[in-house]
Amino acid sequence: MVKRFLVSLLLLGVIAAGCQQETEQNEEVEEVAENEEALAEIPIEVLENEAVVHIDDLVQITGGEYSFDELHRTLQLTIDEDQFYMIDEVPVLERNGEYLATEDIYLVINEEDEVYLPTAFIEKGLNTPVTFKEDTATFSWFGPTEAVGGPPESFNFEEWNVDQMVDYLDFLEKPIKGAEVSTIASHLPGAPRAYRNGFHEGIDWYDHSSGGNIYTDTPIYAMGEGIVVRADHDFVEYPSPEVRNQDLALTSQLGETPEYIFDRLRGRQVWVQYPNGVMNRFAHLYDIPEDIQVGSRVNAESIIGYVGNSGTSGAVNQDLTELHLHQDLLIYGELFWKPLNQEEVKEVLQRIWD
């Protein structure tokens, strides 16, 4: 009797093990099937020696949407909860108000103004590996996902007052040691810029208004712990005053400054992304140290460049006029001074750096 009972138990164990193995095999088959269903295949082309995808194909596969502004030559792209922004000829990708440390993602626009993105956008912008065939690329796409980074839901930047702005930005040191922030209205954000039909977006540090001793050998410091997301080592200046004046004539005709021209007028630049969505654009630089590269970690003691006049009339005229540092401070892609009037902006800067 006991022997028969033990044999029955053994048979039940074998049957149970077989059922478990069959269940695991079925689950594996289902998982493989799901992964195969999630694989997306997108046509690729080679433009400018780069494997690229057409923006229309990308949004069709991902269920996204986009708009390309032909005047400003800017792309706004939404995929699931992620918002992307790019400017033609600017090798920086903004995702949810933060800037990625990669030089591999930029706009490619053909003669018909059709927009393409390098396949690196899928890999680094969407955080999805890509495999290649002869004329297609394959990547996993499982549908809607949560946004990567960006401001918290309770972020109410548009309603901030002076105290809140100071609290948020007071980790930043001065970009030029020993200099004083200028309080001249034309050096502060919001000042009119008639020569390009626009407004000043940042803060100017000139020799005559910031305490002297600002020249092409004056170092510019990173101001805080962050990561370099742009470093224009290969910057090419306007070839002549006439070419620069053509851009300015277009701004006069349009009544505003297109973003791609605005970027050219900033000259040689370094951009540093800090925590909590704060980003600094350092512009008009004379030179950049070789060790400052996209992806470099920096701190308040890191020299990221030297004062210059690149992008200005002084540069194309090959003289030393217009020497100064221009810096733009942004918070999750928005200029920090947007919620404030000019007197409040002045107070914020003085409290941070005086």
Domain ranges of the chain: 40-140, 159-353
Taking the mean position of all CA atoms in its chain, how far away is CA 221?
20
**d(Cα 263, Cα 257) in Å, to the nearest integer?**
10
Which amino acid does the sequence have at 181?
V
Mean pLDDT in residue range 329-336: 96
Check residue 35 and give its pLDDT: 47
Mean pLDDT in residue range 123-139: 94
Q: Are strands 226-231 and 270-273 parallel, antiparallel or unpaired?
A: antiparallel
Apex CA 301: angle with CA 185 and CA 98, to 5°? 65
144: closest CA among 63, 65, 32? 63
**d(Cα 58, Cα 86) in Å, to the nearest integer?**
16
Check residue 39 and give its pLDDT: 92
Check residue 29 and give its pLDDT: 42
Q: pTM score, two decimals?
A: 0.87
53: closest CA among 140, 138, 128? 138
Percent share of the chain, pLDDT over 70: 86
**d(Cα 30, Cα 50) in Å, to the nearest integer?**
36
Tell me the two tokens of residue 222. 């990173």
262: closest CA among 318, 193, 211? 193
**d(Cα 80, Cα 61) in Å, to the nearest integer?**
12
**d(Cα 183, Cα 63) in Å, to the nearest integer?**
48
The rounded mean pLDDT for the chain is: 89
**d(Cα 201, Cα 228) in Å, to the nearest integer?**
21
316: closest CA among 217, 245, 235, 232? 245
Name the CATH topology of 40-140.
Copper Amine Oxidase; Chain A, domain 1 (3.30.457)
Q: With contact defined as beta carbons under 8 Å apart, do 10 and 21 qualify? A: no
CA-CA distances (angstroms) from residue 17 to 3, 9, 161? 21, 12, 67
Can you say whether the dihedral through the CA atoms of 31, 33, 34, 40 is positive or negative? positive
Residue 13 has pLDDT above 60, yes or no: no
**d(Cα 9, Cα 5) in Å, to the nearest integer?**
6
- Residue-wise pLDDT tens digits, 68-118: 999 999 999 999 999 999 999 999 999 999 999 999 999 999 988 899 999
Residue 40 has pLDDT above 80, yes or no: yes
- For 165, list phi and psi in degrees, rounded to 5: -65, -40
pLDDT band at 217 (very low <50, low <70, confident <90, very high): very high
Name the CATH topology of 159-353.
Glucose Permease (Domain IIA) (2.70.70)
Q: Which residues contact 103 (CB under 8 A, 6 or more apart)?
A: 91, 294
52-55 long-range Cβ contacts below 8 angstroms, 24+ apart: 52/108, 52/116, 52/117, 52/118, 52/119, 53/116, 53/117, 53/119, 53/121, 53/122, 53/137, 54/114, 54/115, 54/116, 55/114, 55/115, 55/116, 55/117
Mean pLDDT in residue range 242-247: 97
- Residue-wise pLDDT tens digits, 294-332: 999 999 999 999 999 999 999 999 999 999 999 999 999
- Residue-wise pLDDT tens digits, 72-81: 999 999 999 9
